[in-house]
Amino acid sequence: MRRCYTGAQIRAAEKPRLEAGDGPVLMRRAAWGLAHHTFQLLATRAQTYGSRVIGLIGKGNNGGDTLWALSFLAKRGIAIAAIPINTTPTDLHPEGLAAFRRAGGRIVDKIPTDTAAVIDGVLGTGFSGSFDLPGYLATNHLSIPATAAVIACDIPSGVLADTGDIPGAALAADLTVTFAGPKVGLFAEAGSQHSGTIRVVDIGINDQLAAIDHPWWIAEIPDVAKSYGTPAWDVHKYSRGVLGVVAGSAEYPGAAVLVVNAAAATGVGYISLVAEPPRGKTVADKVISANPQAVVADQLTDKATAVVIGPGLGETMRAKDATGAALQAALRLQIPVLVDASGLDVLQAEVFELGFAALVLTPHVGEMRRLTQRLAPDLAEHSVVDQAAEFARRFDTWIVLKSATTYVFGPHGIRSVHPGRTPELATAGTGDTLSGILGAGLSRLRPEDHDFMQRLFHTLSAGVRLHSMAGELAARDGGVVVSTLEHYIRQAKRQDLE
């Protein structure tokens, strides 16, 4: 798992160094890294000596970094120029501007058509409110040639470092060179679609960053193998993981099929479908014809090591009873419980007091808002991401908030972020598939292990990654058809996508 940070966390880590007077040193390290990666990018395009690089410069330190970086590039034979954005040359970072001028840089008011790269150094982590850089450029007749690379200094201007939201508009970068540690805004929401390739420059504050409480985490491809890879050589079907599935109804039998398909493709020792009569008949028939290895029972087996409750259960009294009975059994067995879809709407506040081994809720944005409205109405004014984070903390539970960006929040502030890698996953049934993947992962955990919580977090985060890898593979293969996603889950488990 890789760490990333809010703007405030990065500022807190820098603070002692700034107070010790190290600001200029940190800035020059950042600028050196920005110049290095810019040069590397130009080299891959065979555009180094004599190429032109233009900086779009704001009045803060982000502009200062860019001016310094341009001065370093000039020493490597690059023709440099800068355009102040929303400010005047007299308001630019003084030392940066002096270095830039010493290196022969000129302030200009046009972007020449032979420009090889534009560095966006208008706004960095000091950005708040709203800004529309593309609109500003259009109004001022500054057009970036289609052949020029766009390189963002630290973060594309207009992206909020803490959330990835873009309240105005931002340039989409080919490359973002970010300092100290990656900002969460480069991976979340619209920011994730504007950051391009991300390079991190070590500016010498890693010790301070390591000490930060509650960074954000990101699951990387190797993490999938850690949580979902080959089981121990000596497992048998029960010790590998027994997943109970309480899903499907006469109205939505397909949801149960999708959960079971995904769990089977992810890898589990035994799948027990809880399908008591009369809803059981249709659901059981459909699941068994798709997955003959699943075993149908009318209640949760005592051998279960995790249970998924909710997909396609519907809103009938019977669905509520099935949810209640499965929760009681899971409590008695002390196994992790995942509640999704219809199951979420019947959860009452008391459920959170019961003391499950772990309770994981996987709402999409609409379901999260409904949960908040019902159980924590005072949070309703917050963003849905903040609602999920606070809900997890308040109710001592785990939330996987599904949207274009997916978030995992744990009870004690632990959290991970997962950029949307393909909009193809925005189709009915992909949530059921995620429940199946995560259910299979949960069934492998042992609540009695000392590092159970850590493993649980990794399982949820890596499972979200596995799901999006499967989506990406399906998208490349012509699009996501949910009933075939299990095929891509298996492919994703063995394929290095990057």
Ligand X SMILES: NC(=O)C1=CN([C@@H]2O[C@H](COP(=O)(O)OP(=O)(O)OC[C@H]3O[C@@H](n4cnc5c(N)ncnc54)[C@H](O)[C@@H]3O)[C@@H](O)[C@H]2O)[C@@H](O)CC1
Binding positions for AMP: 402-406, 431
What is the nearest approach in angstroms of ligand X to the Cβ of residue 169? 12
Give me the least distance between CB of 78 and ligand X, in Å please: 20
Interface with ligand X, residue 131, by CB under 6 A: yes
Name the token pair of 396. Answer: 């001592």
Tell me the C-alpha distance between 105 and 393, whole Å.
52
Q: Which of 13, 27, 256, 337 binds ligand X (CB under 6 A)?
A: 27
294: left (phi over 0), alpha (psi -120 to 50) or beta: beta
Among 60, 105, 336, 436, the residue binding ligand X under the rule CB under 6 A is 60
Q: Length of the chain in residues, anyone?
A: 498
Residue 203 interacting with ligand X (CB under 6 A): yes
Residues 334, 350: Cα–Cα separation, whole Å: 17
Q: Name the region of 86 (left: φ>0; alpha: ψ -120 to 50; beta: rest).
A: left
Give the residue ranges of DSSP H helices in 56-160: 61-74, 94-102, 133-139
Residue 25 near ligand X by CB under 6 A:
no
**Phi, psi at 399, each rounded to 5°:** -125, 130
The region of 118-126, 214-222, 372-380, 476-484 touching ligand X under the rule CB under 6 A is 118-126
DSSP annotation string for 186-214: GTSGGGGGT--EEEEE--S-HHHHHT-SS
Which of the ranges 121-129, 278-286, 361-369, 470-478 carries the binding residues for ligand X, by CB under 6 A?
121-129
* Residues 77-116 close enough to bind ligand X by CB under 6 A: 86
CB of 26 to ligand X, least distance (A): 4
Q: Which of 128, 143, 373, 483 binds ligand X (CB under 6 A)?
A: 128
Count of beta carbons in the 10 Å neighbourhood of residue 490: 15
Using the contact rule CB under 6 A, the part of the chain among 96-104, 127-135, 274-282, 414-422 near ligand X is 127-135
Position 9 contacts ligand X (CB under 6 A):
no
Integer Cα distance of 203 and 167 in angstroms: 29
Nearer to ligand X, 133 or 148 (CB): 133
Residue number with CB closer to ligand X (215 or 280): 215
Span from 55-63, 370-378, 453-461, 473-481 in contact with ligand X (CB under 6 A): 55-63
**Cβ atoms of residues 441 and 394 within 8 Å:** no
We find the least distance from the C-beta atom of residue 123 to ligand X, in angstroms, to be 4
Alpha helices in 211-316 (DSSP H): 221-228, 237-240, 253-266, 280-290
62 near ligand X, rule: CB under 6 A: yes
Binding-site residues for (6S)-NADPHX sit at 255, 312, 364, 432
- Smallest gap from Cβ 85 to ligand X, in A, equals 9
Interface with ligand X (CB under 6 A), residue from 5, 6, 65, 402: 65
Q: Is 276 buried (19+), middle (13-18) or exposed (0-12) by CB count in 10 A?
A: middle
Closer residue to ligand X, CB minimum distance, 7 or 269: 7
Q: Does 39 bind ligand X (CB under 6 A)?
A: no
At residue 115, φ and ψ (nearest 5 deg) are: -65, 130
Known binding-site positions: 255, 312, 364, 402-406, 431-432
Distances in Å between the Cα of 384 and the Cα atoms of 7, 36, 91, 387, 439 are 20, 39, 38, 5, 24
Residues that bind ligand X (CB under 6 A): 14, 18, 23, 26-27, 30, 58-63, 65, 86, 123-131, 153-154, 179, 203
